[in-house]
Amino acid sequence: MTADGVRRALASATRLVVLGVSLGVSTALRWAGIFPNNDPIMAVTLPCAKRGRAAAFAFPVVAMVLFDILSRRVGIWTAVTAGTYGLLGLGFSFAYSALAKRGRRIGPATFLVSGVVGVFVFDFITGPILSSVMFRMSFAQAFVGQIPFTVKHLASVSAYTLVVSPALDWTLREVERGGAAVERRLAPGVSR
């Protein structure tokens, strides 16, 4: 195997570990039900968004579908929420890339602000917009009914982005460093 092949294989393995760790953390926290409207997906998506567009989109989609399968609640809402979260993750990935290019550090404060913005966008799309269409209620009814849900959602996402996002970001950084160390160790011995 060439040095380039080893690098690609290690990068792929590292990405799978990142996705696996992220899914494990998110699913465990959702099952724990720590908060009303317990939602760690946004907080786990943000460190993934820092690492690239594929992880930013794939993680929340897989997380939503996996949890709905495990909880036996697969339906149209699975597609709606998974797609919305995936697009949000993708948007955050683009935003984080732009911030990084300007020399801005992506850390806990960025995760908190992103989580709050993400909740407002997610809840507006899945709440008043799609609920009024899917459940045939007025936009005003859906909007007013969404307010208590969004308040709880903001509380859980804010708590998770302050605790889980930085911890997961650190863990993923260590996984990436480990992959890079293995690559440096193996690559010189591989023929070209």
Could you give the CA distance from residue 59 to residue 27 in angstroms, rounded to a whole number?
11
Give burial (CB, 10 Å; 0-12/13-18/19+) of 124.
Answer: middle
Written as six digits, the tokens of 38 are 């317990």
Model confidence over 85-103: pLDDT tens digits? 999 999 999 999 999 899 9
Residue 84 lies in a domain: yes
Residues 6+ apart with CB under 8 A from 182: 10
Residue 12 lies in a domain: yes
Check which CATH number belongs to the domain holding 114 and give it. 1.10.1760.20
To the nearest whole number, what is the mean pLDDT of the chain? 85
Please say whether the beta carbons of 39 and 160 come within 8 A: yes
- The band of 1, judged by pLDDT with boundaries at 50, 70 and 90, is low
Please give the average per-residue pLDDT across 160-183, as a whole number: 80
Please give the average per-residue pLDDT across 22-30, as a whole number: 82
Domain of residue 139: give its range: 3-187
Model confidence over 30-51: pLDDT tens digits? 888 777 677 888 998 999 898 8
Other C-beta atoms within 10 Å of 107: how many? 12
Could you give the CA distance from residue 133 to residue 148 in angstroms, rounded to a whole number?
20
Model confidence over 110-138: pLDDT tens digits? 999 999 999 999 999 988 998 888 888 89
Judge whether residue 4 has pLDDT over 90.
no
Residue 21 lies in a domain: yes
Give burial (CB, 10 Å; 0-12/13-18/19+) of 28.
Answer: exposed
Residue 114 lies in a domain: yes
Domain count for the chain, please give it: 1
Please give the average per-residue pLDDT across 5-12, as a whole number: 68
Written as six digits, the tokens of 11 are 């990068």
Residue 192 lies in a domain: no
Residues 6+ apart with CB under 8 A from 12: none
pLDDT of residue 191: 47
Could you give the CA distance from residue 29 to residue 23 in angstroms, rounded to a whole number?
10
Judge whether residue 13 has pLDDT over 80.
no
